[in-house]
Structure 1
């Protein structure tokens, strides 16, 4: 299977709450930035097509989306394992957030930041659920990315922080069954970021 480019509205969310970028992207230098990457869901055409729902899109600067962010997504994909790799990706709208328009001319807010929080077992082969692992068996990390061009570079260590730091910035709680010490980790090298 491969990339479907099946741009569509999410059938379970009213269309009025979704951007309309089916035929064209956002105005300006913004791509239809996937939150869940297309390349992460290539097992079936149906799975891949769901990544093209408008509910999975945000206006992401083209030079961020196609350069450093794409490389970050590849680094995350390289951490697949027999145990589950948990990845939460989100957009953040901080002070100073601006707007653009979607392909149909509707006003859409532009995220000021993006984040990812990652969690998996260190070995990748425990065969256990996360809730059954002790803290020495788990590894986690967060990344906080500004809505800007970083250049066509590998993800820098400067975007890496702990999951606890991302929780503090967003107000969200991630991985509630995981010991707090695991969420304090920040070891980019263990995730392939040098």
Structure 2
């Protein structure tokens, strides 16, 4: 009898141990399921819940997707161009904010010329790979953007990643005596960090004489911000005058424009108001901006570009043929 009892004891211990292991196993599985469900809940909540602080800074009238530029080193004169003079905007104005119709800011080439149209956050560029510079750069500058100080100047010039074909490089400008001159200025892009970075893409840059880039050209950029503040919104098209006899610089043979243009347009209750400028690639010390004003028609004849093709023809012709001096304060 004693032997039988001693034989049964190990069985009870084995059953008890097995029962404990099963309980531990069930507890472990249960805990795992709870943790997995909790993690799944957090993932689903994070995916569907609205995230604050990530609203796009682009205005409703702007459509992101264009080209820009980056800068490496800027002299004190170049950095000073982003300091926009302070000017108060009237609390009430008869001027309406310019509501940009679809593609209004996209000019049209009248002559056969190579172009790749690229949209960036703050501007659109028509890039010409034959010359490694733009045919034109166009953008809308609103009053809100003109007074924004949201982001600092980038100062890092880089090739445009969207450009197909030949492109300029920083080395092309090294020790040439030319500035990397912005077409869409960095000072107009402070409303967005992305727009600022893209304004330094080399597709938005042209070789400019330092005294032009840091002189009357910078003065016109500052004046444009004031006009945007006054009128609510301003359409700007700017670029080099493309000619077949331009000299080249650097390994990538970047064309050196002989002259540059800028045309501006805004809308009021009385219709569209436009103005144009044309500068040779040289110093204009002592010249006033007002003395450089010409009709947009004159700029179109020199450049072979229809700057505002989406504006109704009758209004476009009137705006481009004359200058309404009362609409532009200097």
Gaps in structure 2 of 5+ consecutive residues: 1-150
Report if the CA contact (8 A) 2:267-2:273 is conserved. Answer: yes
Distance in 1 between the 2:325 and 2:180 partners?
A: 28
Determine the structure 1 residue equivalent to 2:153. 3
Structure 1 residue corresponding to 2:192, chosen from 44, 50, 61: 44
Whole-angstrom distance in 2 between the partners of 1:141 and 1:50: 27
Deviation at 1:10, TM superposition (A): 1.1
Q: Once the 2 structures are TM-superposed, how far is the Cα of residue 158 of structure 1 from its aligned partner?
A: 3.4
CA RMSD of aligned residues (A): 2.2
Larger Rg: 2
Structure with greater proportional helix content: 2
Partner of 1:132: none
1:87 corresponds to which residue?
236
Distance 1:12-1:95 versus aligned 2 partners, 3 A rule: closer
Which residue number in structure 2 is paired with residue 169 of structure 1?
302
2:274 maps to 1:140:
yes
Answer yes or no: is 1:150 the counterpart of 2:284. Answer: yes
User: What is the CA-CA distance between 1:189 and the residue it aligns to?
Assistant: 6.4
What residue ranges of structure 1 are gaps of 5+ in the alignment? 127-135
Shift of 1:171: 1.4
Matched, 1:192 2:192: no
Cα distance change on mapping 1:77 and 1:155 into 2, 3 Å: farther
Mapped to 2, the partners of 1:3 and 1:92 lie a distance apart of 27
Residue equivalent to 1:115: 261
- 1:95-126 per-position Cα deviation (integer Å, ceiling 9, x unaligned): 6522222xxx332110011001100024xxx6
TM-score by structure 2 length? 0.49
Query: Following the alignment from structure 2 to structure 1, what is the Cα–Cα distance between the partners of residues 218 and 169?
Result: 23
Separation in structure 1 between the aligned mates of residue 183 and residue 329 of structure 2, nearest angstrom = 20
Match of 2:252 in 1: 106
TM-score (norm 1): 0.81
Paired residues in the alignment total 175
Q: 1:40, 1:77 within 8 Å by CA — same for their partners in 2?
A: yes
